[in-house]
Amino acid sequence: MNYVEEFNVLIIGSGPAGLFSALTLERMGVEGIAVFDRRRYPAGGLLNDGKLNFDYRIGIDVKELQLERGEATDLIGKVKETFIAFPRCRQVTFLDGNEKITAIERTAREHEVKFIAPEQWHWGTDNGKALVDYLRSLLTGTRFILGAEVLSIEKKGGHFYFVCREKGVLKKYRGRTVVAAPGRSGAYWFRDAARKLGIDVRFGPIDVGIRVELNRKFYDAVTDVVYDPKFIFCTRRHHDRVRTFCTNPGGRVRTENYGEFKLMNGDALSSERTENTNFALINTVALTKPFSDTTEFGQMIARQFHLLGGGKPIVQRVGDFREGRRSSTGTFDSPTLHYDVCRATCAAVPGDITLGLPARIVDNLWESLKTLDKIVPGILHPSTLLYAPEIKFFDTQYPSDRFLETNVEGLFVAGDGAGKSRGIVGAAVSGMIVAQGIVRKGFTGKRKKAPGGTKTAGKS
Ligand SMILES: Cc1cc2nc3c(=O)[nH]c(=O)nc-3n(C[C@H](O)[C@H](O)[C@H](O)COP(=O)(O)OP(=O)(O)OC[C@H]3O[C@@H](n4cnc5c(N)ncnc54)[C@H](O)[C@@H]3O)c2cc1C
């Protein structure tokens, strides 16, 4: 198969990592950039909720990115400039002189809990498409090759070759350098591709836990001050790390479909609010010998829930959890048990979450919830809902240099799927770092038409 077109930079994925990589390359004068995405609309996770945390402590692993705090803050500042120029992105957490934040911090500290309040902005799922259109309008010199699934990557004679499936037809592209930003949905495909290319791969930790949904009146005292509050617990019994993550005041609980199983998540609209608030409570799990495959561990848990819930996630009321009994359809909204105080926003099967989670994780989550209830009294109302499983697979890591170039020269990695970020801002930051690395390495120049190739013009 002859290649159809040649570019300087081939980017896999049009999420924040891929788009900010392209944007930075364009701004640095690089030509011949192509973004490939298997979806028809270039967005990745940008079509979701859009809470932005502008803080180096959230969603960015400064150690993994080999960044000084100051450097991270500068890059975050650049990401912020781009996002907040989108008119529907509004600030939701203000830090300056906010004494209420200091008060929450103090109460949390009394219970040996770390509280982080970052500057936060939000656009809401209903504005996701407009946000992506805005970002795309900034990219005037990048080709989008959409509905194109990258099936394989090969390196020969100093060039990379992609085989892509586009509307059932296989096409081949050639490039001088590759940015792999496939997100969590493409992480395992890329891991296989990376192994075939001889890229070093290692297992990282995963986050396993639940999505908590409660009547928003119990959490408003905190979320009115900090939209997406971060409480970090070190559990007394097991000394494990548990944290709150992705809070959606007035939001909805959602499921993500991974085919073999479903995982919990949550979002919020900017125009419509529910009576509820939801947030993730997750326990970081790292494994060592004899079994270090965190992917398989997480998938086993997810598959178990899939089995127990007949293909749906499981939800349990706190009232039932406390009594050690499963939740059931008959009493799920019982006014006698005060369960009608919180109406579920997501269809899940009433059951027992402890059947699918390891005991150590259940202990850690429950201990953390009890501690949180001391800081924010009321969150453990009997009507509060515990959905499982919520799992964040940031589990494959690629040793890379300061510019996120792997041991295969010219192949850079960015974003959540490569273990370089955990959120939109972090993914964008990693994309910018990669772009700087590409320019530094001299992978720049004009796009060439392949001999006998079919060069297509314009954006697809
Ligand atoms: C419901 C939900 C709500 C969320 N809310 C927030 C939030 O409020 N704030 C926040 O910071 N984060 C949030 N996130 C997480 C956020 O979406 C991710 O952290 C972020 O999108 C990661 O960016 P990325 O560029 O690494 O990957 P992605 O955004 O996932 O993009 C990867 C892209 O690569 C494409 N791709 C993968 N493999 C291939 C292949 N082989 N060929 C071609 N294309 C491929 C995919 O189609 C995808 O479009 C949320 C996620 C979900 C699911």
pLDDT in tens, 280-312: 999 999 999 999 889 899 999 999 999 999 999
Domain shared by 373 and 422, yes or no: no
Min mean pLDDT across 90-99, 400-409, 437-446 is at 437-446
* Residue with CA closest to ligand 1 atom 44: 37
What is the pLDDT averaged over residues 430-459? 67
pLDDT 10s digits, 87-134? 999 999 999 888 999 999 999 999 999 999 999 999 999 999 999 999
More confident site: 460 or 244: 244
* Residue with CA closest to ligand 1 atom 9: 51
The number of domains in the chain is 2
Check whether the bond before 249 is cis (ω within 30° of 0): no
What is the pLDDT averaged over residues 126-143? 96
245 domain-assigned:
yes
107 domain-assigned:
no
Task: State what percent of residues in the chain have pLDDT above 70.
Answer: 96
Domain shared by 231 and 331, yes or no: yes
pLDDT of residue 442: 82
Residue 16, ligand 1, Cβ within 6 A: yes
CATH number, domain of 433, equals: 3.50.50.60
- Ligand 1 centroid to residue 105 C-alpha, Å: 31
Residue 417, ligand 1, Cβ within 6 A: yes
Domain shared by 263 and 378, yes or no: yes
- Assess whether pLDDT exceeds 80 at residue 1: no
Query: Residue 144 sits in which domain range?
Result: 3-88+123-202+396-440
Reading phi first (left if > 0) and then psi (alpha if -120 to 50, else beta), residue 280 is in: beta
- Ligand 1 centroid to residue 416 C-alpha, Å: 7
- How far, in Å, CA of 84 to CA of 104, rounded? 27
* Residue with CA closest to ligand 1 atom 19: 423
- How far, in Å, CA of 356 to CA of 301, rounded? 6
Q: Which atom of ligand 1 is nearest to the CA of 17?
A: 25
* Residue with CA closest to ligand 1 atom 13: 423
Domain shared by 235 and 302, yes or no: yes
Burial (Cβ within 10 Å: 0-12, 13-18, ≥19) of residue 414: buried
108 domain-assigned:
no
449 domain-assigned:
no
117 domain-assigned:
no
Residue 424, ligand 1, Cβ within 6 A: yes
Domain shared by 262 and 214, yes or no: yes
Domain shared by 64 and 141, yes or no: yes
**Chosen domain end from 372, 392, 412:** 392
- Ligand 1 centroid to residue 456 C-alpha, Å: 27
- Ligand 1 centroid to residue 324 C-alpha, Å: 37
Confidence of residue 452 (pLDDT cuts 50, 70, 90): very low
Residue 431, ligand 1, Cβ within 6 A: no
Is-contact 19 431, C-beta < 8 A?
yes
Residue 317: what residue type?
Answer: R
460 domain-assigned:
no
Domain shared by 282 and 408, yes or no: no
Residue 419, ligand 1, Cβ within 6 A: no
74 domain-assigned:
yes
- How far, in Å, CA of 23 to CA of 142, rounded? 8
Domain shared by 52 and 145, yes or no: yes
Mutate to test the pocket of ligand 1, among 20, 35, 49 (most ligand atoms within 8 A of CB): 49
- How far, in Å, CA of 388 to CA of 394, rounded? 18
Domain shared by 37 and 176, yes or no: yes
Buried/exposed code over 244-257 (b: 16+ C-beta within 10 A; e: otherwise)? bbbbbbbbbbbbee
Dihedral of CA atoms 394, 396, 402, 408 in degrees, nearest 10, equals -150
Is-contact 278 270, C-beta < 8 A?
no
- Ligand 1 centroid to residue 149 C-alpha, Å: 15
Is-contact 56 79, C-beta < 8 A?
no
Q: How many other CB atoms are found less than 10 A from the CB of residue 310?
A: 9
Domain shared by 332 and 248, yes or no: yes
Domain shared by 287 and 402, yes or no: no
Strands (E), 128-168: 142-146, 148-156, 159-166
Residue 231: what residue type?
Answer: F
Residue 19, ligand 1, Cβ within 6 A: no
Residue 45, ligand 1, Cβ within 6 A: yes
Identify the CA nearest to 437 among candidates 411, 455, 415: 411
Side-chain-side CA neighbours of 455 within 13 Å: the count stands at 10
Q: Is the dihedral of CA 113, 114, 118, 124 positive or negative?
A: negative
454 domain-assigned:
no
pLDDT of residue 50: 95
Side-chain-side CA neighbours of 165 within 13 Å: the count stands at 6
- Ligand 1 centroid to residue 45 C-alpha, Å: 3
pTM for this entry: 0.91
Domain shared by 19 and 53, yes or no: yes
Identify the CA nearest to 382 among candidates 218, 154, 183: 218
